């Protein structure tokens, strides 16, 4: 496909710049560009076709079923985008005086109030720009808490092997060393291993719940008590909140800190790099360490408060990705408390329906035929018997118009496919997908070779993913 600079005609001279409506400033020649600004010279039709072509080369939730486990690729109601587009939200400047953006500050306040009541936390901060950034921020709160109490020997974070991959990475980024503990055969935190791992050097414990095999930890109170009794704090990775919102609250389970992924659970289109929002919620004892500025109310006026001697400081310029918060608030307000609970119930119902329909065909090593919002299939047997890998299976799904599930994760399942149907799919779609899964499974046994060269219908088949990540070509060079 051609780049936009390669189509059109240099001599078309499209006058895209509007008339200047402010006085022209006199700028010293040395600051002026020497060469003409190179802009694409394309007609409106060409622009429209170019971007339509581009959009067809990628796969989004509006193209088809997108069961990318842990990523919650659900349909995002367009009303949320309408709200985020309102000029009062979209056309503001971060340096505008607080008294001119009272409505926007109110959005933060309301979102904080709602999310605190959903999670059982006492405060919520919206600076972090994504889930992993929220983890980093939450871990820094834990770090600051121990430091403030002169409890300086606590430098270890315990992470079960069923945690999301960002958990140990964020702990290391925040300056802790990471202790990995194994799961039980059933896929839960090994409580005895946790008991043995905690001690005077324990800063905290991070739990992804439901975990990456789609299970709700059975002994959650016992887990948080063990960590607290050892003097550590407890961190809840709440990116999978769409399995429990309106039903169970991390705060009631004994967690001190939680992060949420507004771009997943609370409905902002995501993938492709953002923008996201990973707000961090905490209990009272951690509020003093939250990033500044905090939004405070003084005589009925909302304002930014920069002062807090104990704060970990800023973690992002300005105040986080505001429009993602607007979308999340619109989502919460349209659904209401009952609607949010329904969303979770349907996420869990859809996953269990698929799991139930597939479990006689596929190996599903954990969960005993039950799951929360996602489940993990193992294709280890298929790989051994027919040399068809999880990758082959996933790539062939693309030819069926289905986005592949998350592959090779979690690491505790070999040839893993992690399937998260989400709450926004209909029974008809699920039935169609279930039929494709079964059909491909049969094909893998009868004609394994036909799964090796797939996909055949997409613009690119099997790119060198490592090469693309390590040596990306991000610049366009031309004369």
Ligand X SMILES: *Cc1c(COP(=O)(O)O)cnc(C)c1O
Q: Find the binder of ligand X among 8, 67, 120, 131 (CB under 6 A).
A: 131
Q: How far is the CB of 22 from ligand X (least distance, A)?
A: 39
Place of tokens 């065909």: 361
Q: How far is the CB of 121 from ligand X (least distance, A)?
A: 17
Instruction: Give CA–CA dist 197/179, Å, rounded.
Output: 8
Contact stretch for ligand X (CB under 6 A) within 48-56, 127-135, 224-232, 247-255: 127-135
Measured from the CB atom, the residue of 162 and 396 that comes closer to ligand X is 162
Q: Find the binder of ligand X among 50, 59, 66, 70 (CB under 6 A).
A: 70
Instruction: Give CA–CA dist 26/379, Å, rounded.
Output: 68
Strand partners, 179: 158
Closest CA to 9 of 34, 40, 36: 40
Measured from the CB atom, the residue of 70 and 311 that comes closer to ligand X is 70
Q: Find the binder of ligand X among 101, 158, 179, 239 (CB under 6 A).
A: 239
Binding status of residue 240 toward ligand X by CB under 6 A = yes
Peptide bond into 250 cis (omega under 30): no
Q: Find the binder of ligand X among 202, 261, 350, 454 (CB under 6 A).
A: 261
List the beta strands (DSSP E) in 139-231: 156-160, 177-181, 202-208
| Total binding residues toward ligand X, as defined by CB under 6 A | 14
Specify whether the CB–CB gap between 128 and 320 falls below 8 A: yes
Binding status of residue 329 toward ligand X by CB under 6 A = no
Instruction: Give CA–CA dist 12/33, Å, rounded.
Output: 22
Q: How far is the CB of 437 from ligand X (least distance, A)?
A: 22
Closest CA to 170 of 141, 209, 129, 137: 137
Measured from the CB atom, the residue of 4 and 248 that comes closer to ligand X is 248
Measured from the CB atom, the residue of 130 and 328 that comes closer to ligand X is 130
Rg (the chain; Cα; Å)? 25
Binding status of residue 132 toward ligand X by CB under 6 A = yes
Binding status of residue 208 toward ligand X by CB under 6 A = yes
Q: How far is the CB of 228 from ligand X (least distance, A)?
A: 22
Measured from the CB atom, the residue of 103 and 274 that comes closer to ligand X is 274
Q: How far is the CB of 33 from ligand X (least distance, A)?
A: 38
Q: How far is the CB of 69 from ligand X (least distance, A)?
A: 8
Q: How far is the CB of 278 from ligand X (least distance, A)?
A: 6
Q: How far is the CB of 463 from ligand X (least distance, A)?
A: 21
Q: How far is the CB of 292 from ligand X (least distance, A)?
A: 22
Distant-in-sequence, close-in-space partners of 376: CB < 8 Å, separation ≥ 6:
69, 212, 213, 214, 364, 365, 366, 410, 413, 416, 417, 418, 419
Specify whether the CB–CB gap between 158 and 205 falls below 8 A: yes
Specify whether the CB–CB gap between 162 and 183 falls below 8 A: yes
Closest residue to ligand X, judged by C-beta, is: 131
Binding status of residue 237 toward ligand X by CB under 6 A = yes
Measured from the CB atom, the residue of 232 and 276 that comes closer to ligand X is 276
Contact stretch for ligand X (CB under 6 A) within 30-38, 182-190, 198-206, 237-245: 237-245
Which residues in the 160-199 window bind ligand X by CB under 6 A? 164, 166
Instruction: Give CA–CA dist 455/362, Å, rounded.
Output: 22
Distant-in-sequence, close-in-space partners of 7: CB < 8 Å, separation ≥ 6:
40, 42, 46, 50
- 346: which 2 tokens? 């349907």
Measured from the CB atom, the residue of 137 and 208 that comes closer to ligand X is 208
User: Taking the CA of residue 414 as centre, how many other CA atoms within 13 Å lie in the half-sphere pointing to its CB?
Assistant: 7
Q: How far is the CB of 31 from ligand X (least distance, A)?
A: 39
Closest CA to 346 of 373, 364, 319: 373
Measured from the CB atom, the residue of 65 and 236 that comes closer to ligand X is 236
Judged by the rule CB under 6 A, the positions of this chain that interact with ligand X are: 70-71, 130-132, 164, 166, 208, 237, 239-240, 261, 276, 278
């Amino acid at each position: 496909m051609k780049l936009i600079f390669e189509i059109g005609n240099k001599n078309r001279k499209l006058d895209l710049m509007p008339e200047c409506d402010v006085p022209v400033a006199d700028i010293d020649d040395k600051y002026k560009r020497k060469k003409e600004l190179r802009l694409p010279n394309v007609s409106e039709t060409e622009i429209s076709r170019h971007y339509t072509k581009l959009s067809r080369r990628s796969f989004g939730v509006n193209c088809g079923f997108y069961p990318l486990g842990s990523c919650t690729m659900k349909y995002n109601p367009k009303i949320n985008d309408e709200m985020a587009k309102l000029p009062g939200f979209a056309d503001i400047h971060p340096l505008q005086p607080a008294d001119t953006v009272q409505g926007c500050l109110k959005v933060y306040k309301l979102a904080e109030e709602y999310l605190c009541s959903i999670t059982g936390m006492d405060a919520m901060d919206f600076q972090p720009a994504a889930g992993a950034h929220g983890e980093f921020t939450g871990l820094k709160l834990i770090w600051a808490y121990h430091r403030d109490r002169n409890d300086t020997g606590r430098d270890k974070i315990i992470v079960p092997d069923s945690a999301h991959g960002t958990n140990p990475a964020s702990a290391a980024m925040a300056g802790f060393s990471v202790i990995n503990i194994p799961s039980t055969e059933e896929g839960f935190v090994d409580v005895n291993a946790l008991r043995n791992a905690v001690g005077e050097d324990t800063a905290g414990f991070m739990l992804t719940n439901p975990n990456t095999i789609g299970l709700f930890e059975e002994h959650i109170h016992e887990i948080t008590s063990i960590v607290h009794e050892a003097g550590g704090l407890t961190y809840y990775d709440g990116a999978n909140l769409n399995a429990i919102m309106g039903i169970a609250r991390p705060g009631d389970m004994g967690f001190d800190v939680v992060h949420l992924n507004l771009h997943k659970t609370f409905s902002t289109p995501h993938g492709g790099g953002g923008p996201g929002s990973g707000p961090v919620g905490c209990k009272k004892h951690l509020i003093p360490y939250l990033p500044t500025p905090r939004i405070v109310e003084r005589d009925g006026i909302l304002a930014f408060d920069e002062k807090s001697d104990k704060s970990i400081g800023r973690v992002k310029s300005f105040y986080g990705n505001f429009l993602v918060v607007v979308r999340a608030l619109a989502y919460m307000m349209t659904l209401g408390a009952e609607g949010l609970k329904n969303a979770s119930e349907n996420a869990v119902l859809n996953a269990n329906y698929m799991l139930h329909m597939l479990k006689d065909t596929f190996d599903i090593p954990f969960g005993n035929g039950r799951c929360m919002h996602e489940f993990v299939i193992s294709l280890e047997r298929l790989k051994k018997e027919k040399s068809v890998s999880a990758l082959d299976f996933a790539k062939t799904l693309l030819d069926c118009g289905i986005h592949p599930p998350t592959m090779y994760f979690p690491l505790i399942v070999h040839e893993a496919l992690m399937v998260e149907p989400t709450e926004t799919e209909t029974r008809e779609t699920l039935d169609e997908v279930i039929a494709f899964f079964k059909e491909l499974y049969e094909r893998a046994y009868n004609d394994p070779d036909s799964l090796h060269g797939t996909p055949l219908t997409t613009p690119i088949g099997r790119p060198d993913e490592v090469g693309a990540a390590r040596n990306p070509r991000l610049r366009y060079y031309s004369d």
